[in-house]
A and B are shown apart, each in its own frame.
Chain A
Amino acid sequence: MLAEERRQRLLAAMREAGIGYMALYGNAWQGDYLRYGADFGILEGHGIALISAGGDVELFLDSAVEAERAELEAPLVRVHFAADIVRAVGVRLDGVANDRTAAAPRRLLPHWLTDAARSFKLADATALLDKLLMHKSAGEIAAVRRAARIADEAYGEFRRAVRPGRRQFEIVADIEAHLRRRGCPDNFMIIGSGGKDVFGMTPPSARQIAAGDLVTTELTPAVEGYFAQICRTLVVGSASAAQRRAFGVFVEALEAGIAAVRPGARAADVARAENDVFRKHGLGEYTTSQWTRVRGHGMGLFADSKPHILEDVTTVLEPGMALIVHPNTYHPEVGYIVLGDAVVVTELGAEVLCQTPRELFEVAA
């Protein structure tokens, strides 16, 4: 149902823009544009969906196993396995070169397809798709909401999994197994553990959890392709006074950021609200790109969607957008701390989806 709803919205947008054929590119890193039009969550290789203004959807995949999977998982789509996907899509587009053709995200499309020598010219429709991806329907928000519930449960599992002596990748194994048991097929997750020597989160290493560690994670399970994120930090043992003091700044910043989420506000306003708290505490340096990437971001068919919450992003927030607000950064006294909640922009402001308390959790040392 969600797939059909998205397809109709896409077709309406194409009609309005006068686009006859739309090429949507996807891979396992950035699969949201492809999923929007073809309802296929790609894992391996390249995928390109061609959507006609008449509503036909063809999906080209260069992995044979992915093509087989797509035939089952996206039954309304005509699937083509093409080991040379670039030429196969090129031949198909040659046949519609007289129509107005466009692509999203054009910058990720195999460059052969955008070469000036082709018979077709693919206009850049990334902004058109971004708008569709950001402004979600009630059904899409419901999927994000379900994913947020799963994220809360998974964080509970994370707290149980963290014990001294365990290695980071063993903890992630527990969380992924928990999610598969719940029938959740996808998750984006990074982790950090230690003290002042830790400057961010990465995929798990073999580092062992030790007493006194701050253990950070960003958990992002997906439901029907829609991701929702939670960020929390815990301490192994009893939190020190410095850790509690530092964490208090993050709670204050998160609350300020969420309070700034309302229709008409800009992404920059949310980032500024978070960062002002750090500046007030003399920690303004730690809101810069040297220490932190973004102060939150959109959520949906991609775990790291637009808009990015940064002080120079002017995207206006509107009802139906889903975001994570996370003032994650390094704190010079204790190390890297994360704290973030998934929210939905409503007419009244932010509806917080995460129910896990904003605590600096403690687990047995």
Chain B
Amino acid sequence: MRRGLIARSFVELPDAVFDARLDRVRTAMQGAHFDALVIYTNNTRPAGVSWLVGFVPYWSEALLVVPREGAPYLVVALSFRVKSWIERTSRIGEVVHTPRIGLKAAQRIAATRPDAAVGIVDFDGLPAGIADDLREGGPGLALRDASALFAVLRAKADPAEIALAVRAAMIAHQALIAARGDTLNAMIAGVESEARRLAAEEIYIAAAPDLERESRLMRVEGEAALGKTFALRATVAYKGTWVRLVRCVCQHSIAQEAAARLAQAVASLPSDRGFSGFRSWLVEGARMAQPLDPLIGSRLNAAKPPPPGALVSVQGMLMIDGRTVLVGAPALIGQSGETASLIVDPLFD
């Protein structure tokens, strides 16, 4: 349930950005002989549709249909009353409202070509009710998984997305600086308030209130006692782009060393060799629809290394001078021959 600012910026996301992304998708569709591409979105899995048309559902669900020719259209379960809001906040020519989005999308596609080849991003993960309705609405349609096709295109960030990620990272940084007060809840309130005032689309705050006792991060309900060292993680969305940033409140020299070791480890990405000294670590990024999909890390068996040019969020746990330290920040994977780099300083004074 999104509660932050959802507004389209014609400066940060002009039409040309969306047009270029759509052109790349259409070229790939032609290569795969797809007549249409279907991408599902809800507020947990918005990263495919928001990347193509800017639409972020605060509630409910939708399917974006990209025909091989003609304008994309959005089939939404949201009611007609929010049509103007959808049109204001995204670049979409036509919005179709129906409670059975799979049925309507299939009927529209089949009306053009009853035996159309339809690529579906993350077909396996598509809600069963929608998959059933797609089959009912277009019994002659050939439904195929288009995850690999889409992931190749989605994973690499273009300049507009990099700029949004930098903005999201700056919001997270300023928000974490605003973690002040005597209690953990006061600090969390400060972070929440600052991020939303700076126009975050969403923020999730997790805390490890006492790193001497527990290094895992949780969402705080009620009040939690603060230890001598603790950590806060801000997961911030800004216009469809998500980043994570960690602030560890500990001795400054230890935080400095942790930040330096994170930067050094990031520089080796997409190789994982830089993380050998970490107790645990994780690299996440957008592949298809989930904004921060786990890609590589100490808990992942099957790795999906980020490609050159991908935006990722990196976090890890270190032991420095016998102390547990959490550190994390977003990074940009270099193009061929370039070194990956953090896009915001994970250090807080």
Contact = CB atoms under 8 A, between A and B. Distances in A.
Contacts of B6: 202-205
A306 interface: no
B79 A69 contact: no
Interface in A82-97: 83-84, 86
A97 B162 CA distance: 47
Interface residues of B, number: 70
Given A169-B196, A184-B221, A45 B290 contact: yes
A162 B56 CA distance: 26
Interface in A151-206: 168-170, 172-174, 176-178, 180-185, 187-190, 199-200, 202-206
Contacts of B218: 69, 72-73
Contact of A111 (B4, B80, B126, B216): B126
A28 B220 CA distance: 17
A310 to B, nearest CB: 12
Contacts of A202: 6, 58, 82, 85
Nearest to B215: A68
Contacts of A170: 196-197
A303 interface: yes
A75 to B, nearest CB: 11
Contacts of A73: 218-219
A112 B123 CA distance: 8
Contacts of A62: 290, 294
Nearest to B42: A29
Given A72-B218, A110-B128, A203-B58, A169 B44 contact: no
A135 interface: no
Given A27-B42, A106-B128, A206 B7 contact: yes
A65 B282 contact: yes
B185 interface: yes
A275 B123 CA distance: 42
B124 A65 contact: no
Given A68-B216, A107-B128, A183-B185, A29 B222 contact: no
B1 interface: yes
A183 B221 contact: yes
B124 A110 contact: yes
B186 interface: yes
Contacts of B81: 199-200, 290-293
Given A73-B219, A81-B299, A176 B196 contact: yes
Nearest to A290: B80
B7 A205 contact: yes
Contacts of B35: none
B146 interface: no
A224 B45 CA distance: 25
B137 to A, nearest CB: 15
B193 A107 contact: no
Contacts of A174: 193
A86 B125 contact: yes
B315 to A, nearest CB: 8
Contacts of B223: 183
A177 B189 contact: yes
A46 interface: yes
A110 B125 contact: yes
Interface string A205-216: 110000000000
B290 A44 contact: yes
B125 A107 contact: no
Contact of B219 (A43, A71, A177): A43
A229 interface: no
A46 B61 CA distance: 14
Which DSSP category, helix, strand, loop or mixed, fits chain B's interface?
Answer: mixed
B284 interface: yes
B193 A110 contact: no
A64 interface: yes
Given A44-B292, A81-B299, A172 B82 contact: no
Interface in A47-104: 62-65, 67-69, 71-73, 81, 83-84, 86
Interface string B254-288: 00000000000000000000000000001010000
Contacts of B59: 29
B234 to A, nearest CB: 12
A99 to B, nearest CB: 20
Contacts of A199: 81, 84
Contacts of A345: none
Contacts of A181: 185-186, 188-189
Contact of A173 (B193, B214, B235): B193
A134 interface: no
B129 interface: yes
B301 to A, nearest CB: 8
Contacts of A110: 124-128
Contacts of A203: 2-6, 58
B323 to A, nearest CB: 20
Contacts of B61: 29
Q: Select the residue from B124, B214, B293 with max chain A CB neighbours within 10 A.
A: B124
Nearest to A170: B197
Interface in B130-170: 130-132
A111 B48 CA distance: 19
A199 B88 CA distance: 14
Nearest to A223: B221
B124 A86 contact: yes
B192 A185 contact: no
Contact of A29 (B44, B290, B300): B44
B188 A180 contact: yes
B19 to A, nearest CB: 25
A37 interface: no
Contacts of A86: 124-125
25 contacts: A27-B42, A28-B1, A44-B44, A64-B297, A67-B299, A83-B302, A86-B125, A106-B128, A107-B127, A111-B125, A111-B127, A111-B130, A112-B125, A168-B5, A170-B196, A172-B3, A172-B4, A176-B196, A177-B189, A181-B185, A202-B6, A203-B58, A204-B3, A205-B5, A206-B7
Q: Which 8 A-B pairs have the closest CB atoms?
A: A107-B129, A173-B196, A177-B193, A111-B131, A169-B5, A112-B124, A181-B189, A27-B44
